[in-house]
Structure 1
């Protein structure tokens, strides 16, 4: 029997298909049985590449974070670099919203996630932030970005003008938000990001020389 020139499975292929499952149906839908079925192999074949399902989820998370642009960190002035990085980080999260709760827990041992944390922290310290501040700023930015990617504020309001007009007069136009959810959510993120970084710039100016 002629052996195939390329293996049926690879780590990249497993992660690709596993990510598609999670994107479509959520983390709870991912199982080694379903993943093997989607790949057209037997479940034990997966264990040649990943010992556990948790390792597969780690690899999904790391592949997403690996796509985040970090080139501005340490290159551009820290306020502009922080904003550009936050936008890139949010874009990666929003492309895979079902993975956000997992990624929000922290980098653990994932190489790309640790490189990201190292790059953010290093850029801030190099720019003159004390290490303690740099740690807290990194945490603040992760909270802000992950929270903004967890869901849509605007889509949380139903298209029922009578509901708001009757009992919530200050929300009388809330039924219109869903139809503009992309603009509302994106502009809210930008407003928060600008306010956050503006505040950090004022704090930076107050640091002891």
Structure 2
């Protein structure tokens, strides 16, 4: 059989192409016209699968974040649940940093995001955290994750030793930070997460031992 002149489109193929375009050109680089060019089709063909770019972005974000792990919240181990969630959430963002504004936005009506939020909040409350604390813990953990995933402390230093050698004696090794940025950033995230969870453990003990009104 002769090959069709027009490529056969599918929603998964459109999402893959859109994510590739976002990874390469940034979120602002995605338009339905440009995506159609990437797929060698007319823009009108895309609209038969996705009514708007926003609808497409939601599904792309859902696909990227489907590996975020909230399964640990089901057994009462709130610390283990937060650890798995934080690590997998950070992994999803660092794999596709240009998609951050969509991934990190509030869940709105996104089914996948709401499912995770429900599991996290329910798991924390089920483990004994008051609902107000559960809400604040979810927010605080997200702040930690986003800060770690969106900025690099180590990459902020110049790799020229002359910048620091004479004027900043306490930064005599700062020129080496960029070279080891990935390791430093990963270890720094783990340190921050561990310290955060240790602090929450103390709060948890106080909350649980407080007399009820």
TM-score after normalising by structure 1: 0.92
- The CA RMSD over aligned residues, in Å, is 1.9
Deviations 1:62-111 (A, max 9, x none): 11121212222213611122112211111111111111133222212211
Q: Distance in 1 between matches of 2:113 and 2:166?
A: 48
Q: Distance in 1 between matches of 2:33 and 2:177?
A: 41
Query: Superposition pairs for residues 83-94 of structure 1, below 5 Å?
Result: 83-94=83-94
Tell me which residue corresponds to 1:171: 171
| SS of 2:204 mapped into structure 1 | helix
Q: Which sits farther off after the overlay, 168-177 or 180-189?
A: 168-177
Q: Distance in 2 between matches of 1:131 and 1:168?
A: 48
Quote how far apart the aligned CAs of 1:3 are: 10
Q: Distance in 1 between matches of 2:22 and 2:48?
A: 21
Quote how far apart the aligned CAs of 1:141 are: 0.9
Q: Distance in 2 between matches of 1:99 and 1:46?
A: 20
Unaligned runs of 5+ in 2: none
Deviations 1:115-167 (A, max 9, x none): 11111111101101111111111111111111111132211111111111233
Q: Distance in 2 between matches of 1:57 and 1:151?
A: 23
State yes or no: 1:138 paired with 2:138.
yes
Q: Distance in 2 between matches of 1:164 and 1:3?
A: 63
| SS of 1:94 mapped into structure 2 | helix
Query: Superposition pairs for residues 1-209 of structure 1, below 5 Å?
Result: 8-75=8-75, 77-207=77-207, 208=210
Work out the number of aligned pairs and report it. Answer: 207
| SS of 2:134 mapped into structure 1 | helix
Q: Which sits farther off after the overlay, 126-135 or 61-70?
A: 61-70
| SS of 2:105 mapped into structure 1 | coil
CA contact (8 A) 2:76 2:123 kept: no
| SS of 1:73 mapped into structure 2 | helix
Q: Which sits farther off after the overlay, 104-113 or 199-208?
A: 104-113
| SS of 2:20 mapped into structure 1 | helix
| SS of 1:129 mapped into structure 2 | coil
CA contact (8 A) 1:100 1:149 kept: no
Unaligned runs of 5+ in 1: none
